[in-house]
Amino acid sequence: MAILGLASSRADLRRRLSAIVVGVSRSGRPVTAAQLGAVGSMMALLNDALAAQPGADHGGHAGAGSHGAFRQHRARHQFRAVAADGAAAADYVVNEAGFAADLGAEKYFDIAMRSSGIEPAAAVLVTTVQSLRAQGEGSLEAGIPNLDHHIQTLKRYGVPVIVAINRFPADTQAELDAVCARAGRQAVPCSFVDAFAQGGPGAVDLAEKVVELVKANPLPAIQPVYSLEDTPEEKIEKVATLVYGAAGVALSDGARRKLEQFKDWGFGSLPVCIARRSIRSPTTHI
């Protein structure tokens, strides 16, 4: 799913599958799927999944954890094909990065966006009173700074942001207003979404505000957290400090040896993908 979500064509999919490293030889060199003759079987399994057609496609949790493509993982490829043909299949394409600005969105901007070459026009940060209260161990007041951090992370990429507050029956208007006011303090608009109870009509206000946000700033200057010319150590440091809020990074001797090995194999200029586990937090739509 991770590789499928980045592949722009069957030829590109085959190239990416061929490069999978499955082990290390006795001489210390990487062993690839192509060397094992395993690419044809994988292509047969994934061939139909790559069919380019509009719709809601699901890249699975592997897509979100690897490069921020949780749902609609082929959206950018469909957009690219539409642009090349000079015809419009849709005015707006939505990709669910999943798992908030510190996991899915970071990987989307630093990995998927670089691969597709398509920069997002806006980011929708989805949250709920329940999730923020959970971040504060039952207190909305204590948990709401979590929202601040995700907003600041998205702003760092240069993308216009709107906060979508999913409304549930148990939420009080005072709580909903408090979350919206918090977003407003950072000059970020918000929308109350009633899709849980009303389906599509409950999300009309959000859709209209996203359109307004895009029209107000149609060509935002999007900037990844790190440069591909940075060393792997520098990339890890920037993600940890600028996105996760860490004071710094301490690498073990084993980790340093691994990074040196990856650089020796020619992987030093690739983006870094940091796997981490966290309590469920806001979701980001790009």
CATH number at residue 114: 3.40.50.300
Cα–Cα distances in angstroms (integers) from residue 272 to residues 34, 155, 229, 239, in the given order: 23, 21, 12, 9
103 in a structural domain: yes
- pLDDT tens, 203-226? 999 999 999 999 999 889 999 999
Co-location of 86 and 215 in the same domain: yes
Domain membership of residue 20 (yes or no) is yes
Do both 194 and 84 map to the same domain?
yes
pLDDT in tens, 88-108: 456 788 888 877 888 889 998
Report yes or no on 83 lying in a domain: yes
Report the domain count for the chain: 2
**Higher-pLDDT residue of 154, 81:** 154
Is residue 23 in a domain? Answer: yes
- 62 and 37, same domain (yes or no): no
Per-residue pLDDT averaged across 150-167, rounded? Answer: 96
Residue 75 has a pLDDT of: 44
Instruction: Check residue 286 and give its pLDDT.
Output: 53
Question: Do the Cβ atoms of 119 and 143 come closer than 8 Å?
Answer: no
Res. 119: pLDDT tops 90: no
Please report the pLDDT score of residue 283 as a whole number. Answer: 55
User: In the prediction, which pLDDT does 198 show?
Assistant: 92
Residues 66 and 166 in one domain: yes
Structural domain harbouring 201? 55-226+280-285
Q: Is the pLDDT of residue 7 over 70?
A: yes
167 assigned to some structural domain = yes
Rg, C-alpha atoms of the chain: 20
Under a CB-based contact definition with an 8 Å cutoff, are residues 271 and 227 in contact?
A: no
What is the per-residue pLDDT for 71? 43
Task: State how far the Cα of 257 lies from the Cα of 213, in Å rounded to an integer.
Answer: 46
Q: Does 83 lie in the same domain as 1? A: no
* pLDDT above 70 (res 281): no
- Top pLDDT among 277 and 190 is at 190
pLDDT over threshold 50, residue 265: yes
Quick one: 33 and 88 in the same domain?
Answer: no
Give the chain as a DSSP string: -HHHHH--SHHHHHHHHHT-EEEE-TTS-EEETTTTT-HHHHHHHHTGGG---SS--B-HHHHHHHHS--B-TTHHHHHHHHHHHT--S-S----B--SIIIIIHHHIIIIIHHHH----S-EEEEEEHHHHHHHTTT-HHHHTHHHHHHHHHHHHTT--EEEEEE--TT--HHHHHHHHHHHHTTT--EEEE-HHHHSGGGGHHHHHHHHHHHHHSSS-----SS-TTS-HHHHHHHIIIIIS--S-----HHHHHHHHHHHHTT-TTSPP----------EEE-
pLDDT at 78 over 70: no
Domain co-membership, 60 together with 187? yes
In terms of domains, do 18 and 64 share one?
no
Integer CA distances (angstroms), 126 to 12, 91, 225, 240, 250, in order: 33, 21, 22, 23, 32
Do 78 and 102 lie in one domain? The reply is yes
Residue 148 has pLDDT above 80, yes or no: yes
- Does one domain contain both 63 and 154? yes
Mean of per-residue pLDDT scores for the chain: 85
Task: Let me know whether 129 and 8 are in one domain.
Answer: no
Confidence band, pLDDT 50/70/90 cuts, at residue 136: very high
Whole-number pLDDT of residue 33:
97
The answer on 103 and 7 residing in a single domain is no
- pLDDT over threshold 60, residue 285: no
Residue 216 in domain: yes
Alpha-carbon distances of 195 from 156, 164, 169, 199, 206, rounded to whole Å: 29, 11, 12, 4, 10
Percent pLDDT > 90 in the chain is 64
In a domain, 236, yes or no: no
Inform me whether the pLDDT recorded for 87 exceeds 50: no
pLDDT of 4 > 60? The answer is yes
Q: What is the pLDDT of residue 117?
A: 83
41-50, 251-260, 276-285 — most confident range: 251-260
The lowest-confidence range among 13-27, 95-109, 125-139 is: 95-109
Using left for φ > 0, alpha for ψ between -120 and 50, and beta otherwise, residue 126 falls in: beta
In a domain, residue 201? The reply is: yes
Question: What is the rounded distance in angstroms from the CA atom of residue 123 to the CA atom of residue 285?
Answer: 6
